[in-house]
Amino acid sequence: MKKLFLVITFLLLLLGSYLFIPETKINYDMTIYLPSDSNTKLGMDILTEEFGKESMIQVMIMDIDIGDLLIIKENIKDIENISNVIWIDDYVDIVNVPLEYVDPSVVALFYSENDALITIVFDVDAYDTSIDDSIQRIREILSDYQTHIRGEPINHSESRRIANGETIKIMVLLIPIVLLLLVLSSHAWAEPILIIITLGVAVLFNLFTNGLLSNVSFITQTMSLALQLALSIDYALFMIHRYYEERLSNPAKEASRLAFKHSIKPITISALTTIAGFSALTLMRFTIGLDIALVLSKGILFSYISTMILLPILLIWLDPLLTKTKHRVFFPSFSNLARFQLKYKHFLFALLVIVIGFSFFMQNKTQYLYGESSEGNPDSVVNLDLQYINQRFGINHQMVVIIPNETVQGEVELVSLLSTNENVIRINSLVLEADPNIPREFLPNELVSYYVGESYSRIILTTSIYEENSELFLFVENLKYMISTQYDEYYIVGQASALSDIQSSIKDQGIWIMMLTVLGVSLIVGLIFKSIKIPIILVSIIIGAIWLNMTLLVIGDTKILYIGYLIVMSIQLGATIDYAVLLTHRYIEERKSKDAEQAMLTAFTQSSISIIISGSILTIVGFVEGFFSDIDSVTKIGQLLGSGALISLLMILFFLPVSLLVFDKWIIKKVKR
C-alpha cells in the first residue's frame, strides 16, 4: 500500500509540475548574463532610457530600379514595429539629382550594380519575438525579388528557430543509441524500460519546473535534458546491477531492500559530487553559469529522488517481467583487462604520473574564445546572406559610444580622434550630420533626438573588426583609451565591447572555479568514505583527465569556448568521478574479506559494465551535441564534453585500479578497523 501511495504521489506531482510549462521563458540574450556593473550592461541600460528600444536589419534587394525601390520603401514603413526605412534618398534628393551626379563613395553605400541596400529600423530591441512577424511581412513585400538580410534581429530570429527544434532533434538521435547500450549491458529485455521510466520521470520533472525560474537560456534548455539523462543514468545502473546480485539469493522484496542499502552510498556521493561541480558555476560573474547550475542541479536532484524511491518499487513490481525476459549479458566481463592491470600495475602507475605531469605543463597553453554564435553552421542562410552583403556593400559591424551631454566642442574633438583609428570605417554623429556651429535648437528635432538624449549623446561607429581575436580586444582597449582622454564617463555598446566585458569578467575565474569544485567534490567524497586519502587519489586522476583533454586541444591547435571549458570542467570533475567512486566503494567492500589483488579483480569485474555504459553514454551525448547541433556554443561545449568524458572513462578504467593497489596500505588501514 505504501508503494502504491508513493507512485501515485509521484504521478500527481508530475502532473502538477506540468502546469509550469507555459511559465517557462527561454532567453536568447546573452548580454543579460553580463555583470551588472559591466560597461556594456550599463551602456545598454542608458541607451534604452535615453533613446528607447531600437534595432535594425539591412536588406540587400537584387536587381531593382530606383522607382520601384522608393515605392517598396514606403510600403515597408507601414509594417508594425518599423520606425524608419533608410536609403540614399534620405541624404540626397535623387528625384531631382541623378545618381551619376552624386558622390560615388556615397552611392556605393546604398546602390551597386542595380542592387540596393536598405536599412530597416525597428522600435523594439533585437531580441523581441514580434520582429519575426515583421521580417516575414518584409519578405512578403519583397517576394518578387531575390534578397539577402543581415543584422542582429535576423540572427536572433534564426537562433530561436534553431533552438526550438534542437532538443527534440538531439533526443531523437540519442534515445536509440542509449537504448542499444542499455540492452547490450542488461540482464533482461525489460531492464531498459525500468531505467527509461525512472529517469524519464526525473527529466520531465526538471523540464516542467523550469517555469519556476525567471528564465532559462536557450543554451541550457537545449543541453539540459540530454545532459541530465547522461549524468544520472549511472544511478539507475548502480541500483539495478546490485539488485541482480542480491536477487541470486533473496526474494525480490529483500533483494530490492539490500540493493538500496548497498547502493545508497555510491549513488548519494555521485549526486552530491555532480551538484558540487555545478555549484561552483554559480560564482561566475557572467551569470549564465548560475543558469546552467540551477537547471542541471535541479535535474540531478530529481534523478536521485526518482532512483532512490521509484526504482526500488518498480524492481519489486516488475520482477516477474525481469525474470521472464532474462537473457545473457552481451558485454564481456573485462576480467582479462583487470588481470593485465594487476600484472603491470607499477608500469601503469608510472605512466599515469607521466601523463598527468605532461598534461599539466601543456594545458597552460590552451587558447580560449569568449563569444558565442547561435548560427554556427557556415552554410546557413543567415551566414550566406551575411557574406553576400559584406562582399557587395562591405562590413557593417557597429558599436555605439555613449558620452555625457557636456560640450559640442568636446564631441567634435572625440569624433576627430576616433576617425584616426584605422579600424573605424565610418562614424555617424550629430556633429557630422550637421554643422556643429549651428545651435542645436535650430536643427530638425528628428535629427537631434536620434543622436542626443536628455543626459547623453551617442556616436555610432562602423568598424572593420568583428571576428573574435586578439586584434579585436586590442581595438576595444584602444577605443576606451581614446575616449577616456576626452571623457571621464563613457560607455561602449556592441558585440566587441560585450566580448571584452565577458573576457574581463571570467578570464581569471577558471582557477577559482576549479579550486572550489575540487574542494567541494573532495569534501563530499572524504566525508562519505571517512578518509582524507581516497579523495586525493580520485580527484587527482579526474583532474589529470581534464588537463589531458586540454592538452589534446593544444596539440590540435584548437581554440575552445572559455565558458564551455568552465562548464565541461565542472561536469567532468563533478560527474565522472562517480565512476571512480563506484569502483572504489566496491573495492573497499571486497577488501574487507579478500587480499588486495583478488578484491580489485572482483570489484573491477562487477563495476566495469556500469562504468563503461555510463561513461559511454555521457561521451555519446557530448559528441551528438557537438556534431549534430546547429548552435555554435552547444557544438563547442558538446565536443569538449565528449572528449572529456571519454578521457575520464579511460583514465578510470586503466589507472584507478592500479592507483588503489599501489596505495592499498595507505587507504585500507582505516577501513579495516
Q: What is the pLDDT of residue 372?
A: 58
How far apart are the C-alpha atoms of 235 and 231, rounded to whole Å?
9
Place of cell 545473457: 328
Please give the grid coordinates belonging to residue 220. Answer: 541550457
How many angstroms separate the Cα of 647 from the Cα of each of 237, 368, 396, 553?
21, 20, 43, 13
Q: Is the CB of residue 18 less than 8 Å from the CB of residue 203? A: no
Q: What is the pLDDT of residue 672?
A: 45
Q: What is the pLDDT of residue 378?
A: 64
Average pLDDT over residues 657-668: 87
**Residue 198: band (very low, low, confident or very high) from pLDDT cuts 50, 70, 90:** very high
What percent of the chain is predicted at pLDDT more than 70?
Answer: 97
Contacts of 39-44 with C-beta under 8 Å, sequence gap 24+, read 39/491, 39/492, 39/497, 39/501, 40/491, 40/492, 40/493, 40/494, 40/497, 40/498, 40/500, 40/501, 41/501, 42/491, 43/400, 43/402, 43/491, 43/492, 43/493, 43/497, 44/493
Tell me: the pLDDT tens digits for 118-132? 999 998 888 888 888
How far apart are the C-alpha atoms of 519 and 176, rounded to whole Å?
37
Q: What is the pLDDT of residue 297?
A: 93
**Its pTM surpasses 0.75:** yes
Average pLDDT over residues 23-39: 81
Q: Is the per-residue pLDDT at 86 higher than 70?
A: yes
Annotate 494-504 with b (16+ C-beta within 10 A) or e (fewer). bbbbbbbbbbb
3-state class (DSSP) for residue 576 = coil
Q: Is the per-residue pLDDT at 168 higher than 70?
A: yes
Mind giving me the DSSP string for 166-205? HHHHHHHHHHHHHHHHHHHH-SBTTHHHHHHHHHHHHHHH
Tell me: the pLDDT tens digits for 376-433? 566 678 888 888 898 888 887 889 999 999 889 999 999 999 999 988 988 989 999 8
Annotate 57-77 with b (16+ C-beta within 10 A) or e (fewer). bbbbbeebebeebeebbeebe
Q: What is the pLDDT of residue 281?
A: 85
How far apart are the C-alpha atoms of 646 and 616, rounded to whole Å?
7
Average pLDDT over residues 490-504: 85
Q: Is the per-residue pLDDT at 374 higher than 50?
A: no
**Residue 669: band (very low, low, confident or very high) from pLDDT cuts 50, 70, 90:** low
Q: Taking the CA of residue 125 as centre, how many other CA atoms within 13 Å lie in the half-sphere pointing to its CB?
A: 12
Average pLDDT over residues 625-636: 83
DSSP-derived letter for residue 464 is S
Q: What is the pLDDT of residue 666?
A: 82
Tell me: the pLDDT tens digits for 268-284? 988 998 898 888 888 88
Considering only CA atoms, which of 121, 89, 81 is closest in space to residue 106? 89
Note the helical H segments in 394-532: 408-418, 430-433, 445-451, 470-484, 495-506, 510-529
What does residue 342 show for φ and ψ, rounded to 5 degrees? -65, -40
Average pLDDT over residues 471-486: 91
Q: Is the per-residue pLDDT at 455 higher than 60?
A: yes
Considering only CA atoms, which of 270, 286, 172, 231 is closest in space to residue 568? 231
What is the set of domains in the chain, with CATH numbers?
Answer: 37-156 (3.30.70), 157-326+336-370+507-672 (1.20.1640.10), 388-495 (3.30.70)
Neighbours of 224 (CB within 10 A): 23
**Residue 221: band (very low, low, confident or very high) from pLDDT cuts 50, 70, 90:** confident
Q: What is the pLDDT of residue 134?
A: 92
294: which residues sit within 8 A by CB, 6+ positions away?
Answer: 213, 282
CA angle 335, 338, 340 (to 5 degrees): 115
The bridge status of strand 82-86 relative to strand 216-217 is: unpaired
How far apart are the C-alpha atoms of 352 and 192, rounded to whole Å?
35
Q: Is the per-residue pLDDT at 606 higher than 90?
A: no
Q: What is the pLDDT of residue 610?
A: 82
Least trusted range by pLDDT, from 12-26, 470-484, 543-557, 638-652: 12-26
Considering only CA atoms, which of 566, 589, 442, 586 is closest in space to residue 507? 566
Q: Is the per-residue pLDDT at 375 higher than 50?
A: no
606: which residues sit within 8 A by CB, 6+ positions away?
Answer: 241, 245, 586
How many angstroms separate the Cα of 124 from the Cα of each of 36, 75, 103?
22, 19, 33
3-state class (DSSP) for residue 55 = strand
How far apart are the C-alpha atoms of 599 and 588, rounded to whole Å?
8
CA angle 457, 500, 365 (to 5 degrees): 170
To 10 degrees, what angle do helices 577-591 and 252-279 make?
130
Average pLDDT over residues 629-658: 90
How far apart are the C-alpha atoms of 435 and 195, rounded to whole Å?
74
Tell me: the pLDDT tens digits for 318-337? 999 998 998 887 777 777 88
- 144 burial type by CB count under 10 A (0-12 exposed, 13-18 middle, 19+ buried): exposed
How many angstroms separate the Cα of 474 from the Cα of each of 52, 414, 478?
30, 19, 6
Considering only CA atoms, which of 296, 307, 302, 271 is closest in space to residue 195? 307
Single-letter residue type at 65: D
Tell me: the pLDDT tens digits for 130-151? 888 999 999 999 999 999 999 8
Q: What is the pLDDT of residue 671?
A: 45
Tell me: the pLDDT tens digits for 50-73? 988 888 899 999 999 888 999 999
Q: Which helix (H) or strand (E) holds 279?
A: helix 252-279
If you average pLDDT over every residue of the chain, what do you get?
87
Please give the grid coordinates belonging to residue 604. Answer: 573491477
Q: Is the per-residue pLDDT at 673 higher than 70?
A: no
Note the helical H segments in 364-466: 381-393, 408-418, 430-433, 445-451
In terms of pLDDT, which residue wins out, 92 or 10?
92
How far apart are the C-alpha atoms of 26 and 291, rounded to whole Å?
11
Average pLDDT over residues 504-528: 83
